[in-house]
Structure 1
Amino acid sequence: MNIWVVNHYAVPPGQSGGTRHWVLGQHLRKAGHSVAIIAGNVNYHERASADADTDYRARLQEHGGIKFLWLNVPEYKGSLLRVLSMIVFALRTIFGRASGYLPRPDVIIGSTPHPFAAFAALVLARRFKAKFVLEVRDIWPESLVELGGYSWFHPFIVLLDQLEKLLARKADRIICLLPKAHDDLIRKGSHRDKITWIPNGVDLSLFTSPEPKKRDGDFIVMYAGAHGVANGLDVVLDAAALLQDRGCGGVTFVLVGNGTQKERLKANAAKRALANVVFKDSVPKNAIPAVLAAADACFMHLRDLPVFRWGVSPNKLFDYMGAARPVIFAVNTSVNPVENANAGLTIPPENPEALADAVMELAGCSDEERARMGAAGRAYVISEHGAEVLGERLSTLLADL
């Protein structure tokens, strides 16, 4: 079976960002399928092209047996240019003659880091008489309304809402990353028996045998992921200030990654003279295990917003657990993997006092107790979020089309 995946922000392991489709593609290759990913050449986290040479419309590369068709899209900063990049990607997907680079598809998976990409996948599926599988990553346009403060009556929001309903109705099957989003998809026109939950997971080939961390010097609390509006990382600075004011030395927060809020956060930390906060640039996915090995504990946070009631599926969380590190989980959501696995502490989001207290509680645990939490988290993701488990679920879905 020839499978195309349309995901504007997909990347191979050598870049920073989400490698979900490359990892799942490896499982599909073992099952005898051919997998190609159509993506934009501008890295979502870096806001810049990974290529020094961008004088092309489309470029075909292969990474570990998975074909990547890179479409040239505008680099961007700010909301308007980001929307332009989305639209350019969708148009170039539709009109870019992908069939000149890739074998004719039997199935096209349209992923929704934004709905325009999935709409382009639907158009291609109809053109090639292929099955169309919709992959729902975020709840659109609710995410934009709650994070961006847009009105439901804004023309762009109305457009996105209608587009999501069209995609839900027309999809032959739907992959949902969020554990409780079925009701929203049914409201938009899908049927429950079309929906399969395949969350994000961890590539355990990167985390082969992580060593338990023995505290040596400062207690390192690490966040590794996007520094965006939804992540609400001001809470880290506020907690760091509380610990500094309390005279609680020996704790350092390390924030790894990039995003729209990073420069503001760095300036704020410098203004407040927070000596216990360190910022580091993002790293390629295949370098994440070495980075997380330096952590004594990891931090997962999202702002306290109703949109997360459908559940969350953050790559960073499963990487933390795959690295066998205890996790401080601060997300108001219906499904809590850290609590389910007994792999750390759960606190309310946007609560610096709770974060400061949780850090000191974990710092006060023995190395053995933290190792027990980390091992429990790793066992959980191996059974529930390992790439082989998720890949088998995807293979079953495709076989039933």
Structure 2
Amino acid sequence: MKKKVLVITQNFAPEIGSAANRMERICEILNEAEAVTVFTTEPQYPQRAIYSKDKFRTSSSSTGFIIKRVKTRRYATEKNLFFRFLLYLEVFIKLLLAIRREKQNFDIVLATTPPLSIPLVALFAKRKFKAELVLDVRDLWPESMQIFNHFIATIARRSSYWIERVIYQKADRIIVNSEGFIPFIREKVGESKEILFSPNALMPKEFYSKRIFNTKEFFKIVYVGNMGAAQDLDSFILLAKSLQDHPHIRFQMIGYGADYARIRKRINDERLWNIEIRSPEPRQKIIEHLKSADIAYVGLENIPILHTVIPGKIIDYMGSALPIIGIASGYSKKIIEQARAGIVFEEKQIMAIKKVLLEWASHPEIRFYHGENGRAYAEKHFSWELNQSLLNKFVVGDDDEEKSHDVCLERVYK
């Protein structure tokens, strides 16, 4: 008999970003064996206005499960932390009321964090439905708020540690998308609780095995994703500026975030003709842009909490057979080097990156080596298809000890 699974998430398709994509894929996997109901918000990340466009309306493939949405006010959350926390509060209240009114019973509650307000709603649902709670941790909150140099973030972070501990302890099982989170969570919950490492991953159609590495009229370095406090994109711009005497080398940025407007203004003010900056695109379009690029850039600020993460863009780059160059430390650097998928520096060594980039531009065989290594690693370790059985068993609490064929990087830590 199918178990009823309630999924609570602030971000869901057709929203862009790794959070919405991850939750959509998890729900699709669970719904193959269980009955899934999703409680979420109307599409609003990064800006509500973009979802009035047809290309975003048709970007989601979610079918076969129930989606219940709450509508919130419009907030300018990208630049204003106060409004962002107001949004979290409103979503918390409205989801709480929606679940309070819900007549259906559930066996499992799956909630994803951040923000911490979502698992707080899930604690209420766990008690109401007498259900098991599975917590999906995509980032360490409130620790990751260290990247914001703002008194509101400082107050929120210092006042939230006890909430974080309670949430981890009340969860029956925990999923993480980075192995770097596990030691930290273990300090909060002890050694007995099961933790599943289930990284962000790709669907079969998102892998690209037909890339041709040769010389072209234009050579493109691409960056996709968030443009905010955690990302080192000034180095990307300086790199482009230093290569303006190589007109065949072009740079492309596609994304959103608190620094998007500042970066666009800087590109225009400094007349950086070799950088194209584009507004947010649906995931399918992003994959197409990656397939037409030659090199992918990753840039992470050297902040200790960021050493535990692997951004979803790195997995997308690898699946697209793109050699990776840039600046990263910790877990992200470890995975890229382990896969031999590219070269990343821990410091902002613009001239060193420029030297590598010029070498790659004139040597397609080097790009082929790193790109194919990354794709092969992603197919082995970052595939939703290969991991779906283990993920489903973990969420529903299947105690079957029979070995799963779905190994990848997914592991249950006990």
TM-score by length of 2: 0.86
Give 1:74's aligned residue.
73
Give 2:161's aligned residue.
161
- In structure 1, how many angstroms separate the alpha carbons of the residues matched to 2:45 and 2:301? 20
Shift of 1:99: 6.0
Question: How big is each residue's C-alpha offset from its partner over 1:240-261, in whole Å with a ceiling of 9 and x where there is no partner?
Answer: 12223xx233211100111111
Distance change (3 Å), C-alpha of 1:313 and 1:38 = farther
Question: How big is each residue's C-alpha offset from its partner over 1:62-84, in whole Å with a ceiling of 9 and x where there is no partner?
Answer: 92223322211222221111111
Cα RMSD for the two superposed structures: 2.4
Indicate which of 2, 5, 29 corresponds to 2:4.
2
Contact 1:201 1:390 in 2 (8 A): no
Distance change (3 Å), C-alpha of 1:49 and 1:151 = closer
Question: 1:82-101, aligned counterparts within 5 Å?
Answer: 82-97=84-99, 100=102
The answer to whether structure 1 residue 389 and structure 2 residue 386 are counterparts is yes
Shift of 1:349: 4.7
Indicate which of 270, 275, 278 corresponds to 2:276.
278
The answer to whether structure 1 residue 223 and structure 2 residue 242 are counterparts is no
Question: 1:65-144, aligned counterparts within 5 Å?
Answer: 65-77=64-76, 78-97=80-99, 100=102, 103-144=104-145
Shift of 1:392: 2.7
Contact 1:330 1:347 in 2 (8 A): yes
- In structure 2, how many angstroms separate the alpha carbons of the residues matched to 1:76 and 1:352? 37
- In structure 1, how many angstroms separate the alpha carbons of the residues matched to 2:91 and 2:178? 25
Distance change (3 Å), C-alpha of 1:192 and 1:146 = farther
Contact 1:119 1:167 in 2 (8 A): yes
Distance change (3 Å), C-alpha of 1:108 and 1:399 = closer
Contact 2:81 2:152 in 1 (8 A): no
Give 2:359's aligned residue.
361
- In structure 2, how many angstroms separate the alpha carbons of the residues matched to 1:240 and 1:344? 19
Question: How big is each residue's C-alpha offset from its partner over 1:317-366, in whole Å with a ceiling of 9 and x where there is no partner?
Answer: 11111111111142111352221111121222544333323322221222
Distance change (3 Å), C-alpha of 1:273 and 1:62 = closer
- In structure 2, how many angstroms separate the alpha carbons of the residues matched to 1:385 and 1:349? 27
> For 1:254, what is the secondary structure of its paired residue?
strand
The amino acid that maps onto 1:67 is: I
Question: How big is each residue's C-alpha offset from its partner over 1:9-32, in whole Å with a ceiling of 9 and x where there is no partner?
Answer: 2224xx4223112112222233x2
Contact 2:114 2:140 in 1 (8 A): no
- In structure 1, how many angstroms separate the alpha carbons of the residues matched to 2:109 and 2:13? 18
- In structure 2, how many angstroms separate the alpha carbons of the residues matched to 1:295 and 1:284? 17
Percent identity over paired residues: 24
- In structure 2, how many angstroms separate the alpha carbons of the residues matched to 1:353 and 1:149? 32
Contact 2:293 2:322 in 1 (8 A): yes
The amino acid that maps onto 1:258 is: Y
- In structure 1, how many angstroms separate the alpha carbons of the residues matched to 2:157 and 2:225? 27
The answer to whether structure 1 residue 332 and structure 2 residue 329 are counterparts is yes
Aligned residues: 384
- In structure 1, how many angstroms separate the alpha carbons of the residues matched to 2:148 and 2:362? 36
The answer to whether structure 1 residue 265 and structure 2 residue 263 are counterparts is yes
> Structure 1: 5+ residue runs without aligned partners?
53-60
- In structure 2, how many angstroms separate the alpha carbons of the residues matched to 1:388 and 1:172? 25
The answer to whether structure 1 residue 239 and structure 2 residue 239 are counterparts is yes
> For 1:50, what is the secondary structure of its paired residue?
helix
The amino acid that maps onto 2:376 is: A
Contact 1:199 1:390 in 2 (8 A): no
Question: How big is each residue's C-alpha offset from its partner over 1:163-214, in whole Å with a ceiling of 9 and x where there is no partner?
Answer: 1111011110111112122221122235454222111112223336443344
Give 1:180's aligned residue.
180
Contact 1:17 1:43 in 2 (8 A): no
- In structure 2, how many angstroms separate the alpha carbons of the residues matched to 1:71 and 1:289? 30
Give 2:170's aligned residue.
170
Give 1:375's aligned residue.
372
Question: 1:278-297, aligned counterparts within 5 Å?
Answer: 278-297=276-295
Give 1:58's aligned residue.
none
Shift of 1:98: 6.9
- In structure 2, how many angstroms separate the alpha carbons of the residues matched to 1:347 and 1:97? 47
The amino acid that maps onto 1:194 is: E
Give 1:55's aligned residue.
none
- In structure 1, how many angstroms separate the alpha carbons of the residues matched to 2:352 and 2:34? 48
Shift of 1:49: 7.0
Shift of 1:48: 4.1
The amino acid that maps onto 1:22 is: E
> Structure 2: 5+ residue runs without aligned partners?
54-59, 399-414
TM-score by length of 1: 0.88
The amino acid that maps onto 1:347 is: F
Question: How big is each residue's C-alpha offset from its partner over 1:116-146, in whole Å with a ceiling of 9 and x where there is no partner?
Answer: 1111112111111111111111111111123
Question: How big is each residue's C-alpha offset from its partner over 1:85-124, in whole Å with a ceiling of 9 and x where there is no partner?
Answer: 11111111111147648x4221111111211111111211
- In structure 2, how many angstroms separate the alpha carbons of the residues matched to 1:341 and 1:386? 15
- In structure 2, how many angstroms separate the alpha carbons of the residues matched to 1:91 and 1:182? 30
> For 1:180, what is the secondary structure of its paired residue?
helix
- In structure 2, how many angstroms separate the alpha carbons of the residues matched to 1:45 and 1:354? 34
- In structure 2, how many angstroms separate the alpha carbons of the residues matched to 1:49 and 1:38? 21
Give 1:57's aligned residue.
none
- In structure 1, how many angstroms separate the alpha carbons of the residues matched to 2:143 and 2:72? 26
* Comparing 347-356 and 383-392, the one that deviates more: 347-356
Contact 1:135 1:176 in 2 (8 A): yes
